[in-house]
Amino acid sequence: MIGFKIYYEKPTGNVVLTIPENSNDDAVQTTKEQDFVMYSVLQARNQETVDFIQLEFGMYRADFQTARSWRVDTETEQILFEYPIFSTPLSEQIELLKQENEALKVENKELKLALAESVEAQQQNNIENQLAIAELAELIATKEGL
């Protein structure tokens, strides 16, 4: 399995070619030289002015499906997606949601524990109240019997 390969102009970061990911187990990774032979859009360019980023399989998949366009930040070599609606890349939104979900799970567990402790304390109070009522009833019975 091979992830997306993004060819871009070194000076500007403008994407020249995006080679889609390949989910076949027998997919073969190609070299820059092989790609320049296979793709006419690359053949028309000087190899020295073009570079590429090879992504892991599945990386940024949702972004590529949703984004209207993308380019490469030439300093960081990060892919910058432009979305029709979203301001944050979907992969980042997903990561934030995963973190929020984990935090909510921890909070839920803590609340369940606090509730269980509260119920246990309430049950203990009920038992103590019943004992106090029984003692009071016994005292009243003893005073009436005198």
DSSP states of 80-94:
EEE-SS-SS-HHHHH
pLDDT on residue 53: 97
In a domain, 124, yes or no: no
Average pLDDT over residues 80-98: 82
List pLDDT tens digits, range 17-74: 999 999 998 899 999 999 999 999 999 999 999 999 999 999 999 899 888 899 999 9
Token output for 74: 């030439």
The whole-angstrom separation of Cα 86 and Cα 89 is 7
CA-to-CA separations, 26 to 37, 42, 60, 68, in angstroms, rounded: 21, 25, 22, 30
**Within 10 Å of residue 57's Cβ, how many Cβ atoms?**
13
What is the reported pTM?
0.60
CA-to-CA separations, 118 to 32, 60, 106, 110, 128, in angstroms, rounded: 65, 45, 18, 12, 15
In a domain, 143, yes or no: no
Which position has the higher pLDDT, 141 or 133? 133
In a domain, 82, yes or no: yes
In a domain, 30, yes or no: yes
In a domain, 116, yes or no: no
The whole-angstrom separation of Cα 60 and Cα 67 is 10
Residue 28 contacts residue 75 (beta carbons within 8 Å): no
Structural domain range at position 19: 5-87
The whole-angstrom separation of Cα 146 and Cα 144 is 6
In a domain, 96, yes or no: no
pLDDT on residue 87: 67
* Torsions phi, psi for 112 (to 5 deg): -65, -40
pLDDT on residue 69: 94
Domain count, the chain: 1
Q: pLDDT confidence of 146, banded at 50, 70, 90?
A: low
